[in-house]
Amino acid sequence: MISGISASPGIVFGTALLFKEKKIKINKNKISDKNIQIEINKFFQARKKSSQQLCEIKNQAKKKFGKKKSSIFKGHILLLEDEELETEIISLIKKKKITADFAIEKIIQEQIQTLEDLKDEYLKNRSIDIRDIGNRLLKNILHIPIIDLNNIKKKVILITKDLTPSQTTQMNLKKIIGFITDLGGVTSHTSIMARSLEIPAIVGTKNITKKVQNGDFLILDSVHNKIIINPSETQIKYFKIEKKKYFNIQKKLKLLKNLPAITIDGKKIEIGSNIGNYKDSIHAKKYGAESIGLYRTEFLFMGRNNLPSEEEQFQAYKSIAEKMHGKSIIIRTMDIGGDKNLSYIKFPKEDNPFLGWRAIRVSIDNINILHDQIRAILRASAFGKLKIMFPMIISMEEISYLKKEVQKIKNQLNKENIIFDKNIKIGIMIETPASAIISKHLIQKVDFFSIGTNDLTQYTLAVDRGNETISKLYQPISPSILYLINKVITASHKAKKWTGICGELASNIEITALLVGMGIDELSMSSISIPIIKNIIRKINFKKAKKLAKSVLKENKIEKIQNLIKNFNKKENLL
């Protein structure tokens, strides 16, 4: 039995698929004359295999995304079968007497460098295609298995060291029924995506990839944080009963989905959902979300080879606006950087990317990206109750600049006679200590705040939330964090405006009463968490919760805070 960190609840049974990228090792030794033709034949065989794989991927992409998007892979096939590329590789094998893999690596690297040195952005971006083709060729020539997460045929539980956000977006969700990772914590993007996709997951197991083999049968119980490898019949029978119990509890909780989140003495809290795409908005409605408290638009920009156009973004925002039928939708502008990079934008190599070029900083430095996104949001605002939210704000100057840019786009749309919400609300994420500390000034410039507790915690405590070594120091109920949250809520209320939380603290059932007592106006979370949070809020006495918050904010030690919260929850029978 193995445990880790329960990232997304559920109990599933299935076969393990070990997703482990094998390192490409190039053979740089010289070859004899008699081996020249053998190496050339290796190249042709690898190219044929690569071409067949790309044809299959192209056909699947056509079925899933349509002809236009599948044309990317048609381009990859043409590049792979390019006569000039073939001539250069064969010529190098013959002249230099080197292996096919070494020749491919050299030619591919030369082509990448040539393209990256060009000023033309379109041609620069083609270097990504060349790199992909080169990697596929090398893996096939060296007989390294290529696991395509979008091309999985049977239902599996995915086992991997970690998953990047882009890998998660490309998974075949009909076939991946759960996943387990070596790394990660409850606030890592892998965990957030798992909850959003409603896939049972356990992260941070440290060494699951060393303990599980391909084809092992697994029980993944992320309700009780247990993984069983090749279980006995008795264990299977026991966990099937546990799965049924969990299902029945969830069924009862879903009966609350259309009820408002109101305390027993009449305090209303808005419950929103965090989403990344249209499918997530369907889940939001299914679980009774009253709004979309966070639309992570960066997922529109990921898992592709170029920027989404203004029109493409407009259609995405419009479809969700229509789906939510007039309910509030907070659209956060692209939050790229940190652990979410784009293959077609060159990011600088940074010692600490979370403190570097990310989120609003990338948008401000790429004004066309910012303008396209704002135009798309404003155009879509004619079809629903949309709000704009900017991430990673640290100063008044940034807000002034961004509001001017929004006004510029509004002026353009007015001249073009395009309908939009002229009074669209503008808010910011409070996720840096800087923004929390000057919140009383910032609220004068915006309509609302949404606290990103994941980043606010890591920046305030100087604790990387993805670092296993110091994970025990990542404490969202640290006195310093609670002080800042309270400061932000107080500042917004004094200005007669509101504050929500869209970080993972919003779905932490142990903290719900405290947040309600602190006066939070809105909680936004993964859709799957909505019923249980509504259930807790409907049991809370707001007056008593305010007294809890007052007591907690006087404390200066985490242990005392934990005890106060634990005793309150027990006394009020909230959990």
Instruction: Determine contact, residues 159/212, Cβ cutoff 8 Å.
Output: yes
Instruction: Determine contact, residues 461/473, Cβ cutoff 8 Å.
Output: yes
Task: Write the CB contacts of 565 (distance below 8 Å, at least 6 apart in sequence).
Answer: 477, 510, 511, 513, 514, 548, 552
3 state DSSP class of 368:
helix
Q: How many CB atoms lie within 10 A of CB 297?
A: 24
Work out the burial of residue 348: count CB atoms within 10 Å of its CB; fewer than 13 is exposed, 13-18 middle, 19 or more buried: exposed
Instruction: Determine contact, residues 370/364, Cβ cutoff 8 Å.
Output: yes
Per annotation, catalytic residue among 55, 283, 325, 502? 502
Task: Write the CB contacts of 524 (distance below 8 Å, at least 6 apart in sequence).
Answer: 271, 272, 273, 274, 291, 292, 293, 294, 330, 450, 500, 501, 502, 506
Query: 108 — phi, psi (to 5°)?
Result: -60, -45
Task: Write the CB contacts of 317 (distance below 8 Å, at least 6 apart in sequence).
Answer: 295, 331, 376, 377, 379, 380, 386
Task: Write the CB contacts of 46 (distance below 8 Å, at least 6 apart in sequence).
Answer: 100, 137, 140, 141
Euclidean distance between CA atoms 386 and 55, whole angstroms: 40
Q: List the end-to-end C-alpha distance of the chain, in Å, as a whole number.
A: 27
Work out the burial of residue 241: count CB atoms within 10 Å of its CB; fewer than 13 is exposed, 13-18 middle, 19 or more buried: exposed
Name the residue among 333, 455, 451, 465 with its Cα closest to residue 391.
Answer: 333
256: tokens are 């609350």
Residue corresponding to tokens 């070859």: 31
Euclidean distance between CA atoms 343 and 337, whole angstroms: 11
70: tokens are 């599948």
Percentages helix, strand, coil for the chain, rounded to the nearest 5?
50, 15, 35
3 state DSSP class of 74:
helix
Residue 126: how many CA atoms within 13 Å on its side-chain side? 15
55 is catalytic: no
Name the β-bridge partners of 8: 201
- By DSSP bridging, strand 291-296 and strand 328-332 are parallel
558: tokens are 């985490």
Query: 168 — phi, psi (to 5°)?
Result: -65, -40
395: tokens are 């100063």
**What is the length of the chain?**
575
Residue 499 CA to its chain's centroid (Å)? 23
CA angle 523, 524, 527 (to 5 degrees): 130
Q: Order of strands across the sheet with 201-203?
A: 5-8, 201-203, 176-181, 156-160, 11-19, 217-221, 226-229
Per annotation, catalytic residue among 143, 189, 441, 493? 189
Catalytic residue ranges = 189, 502
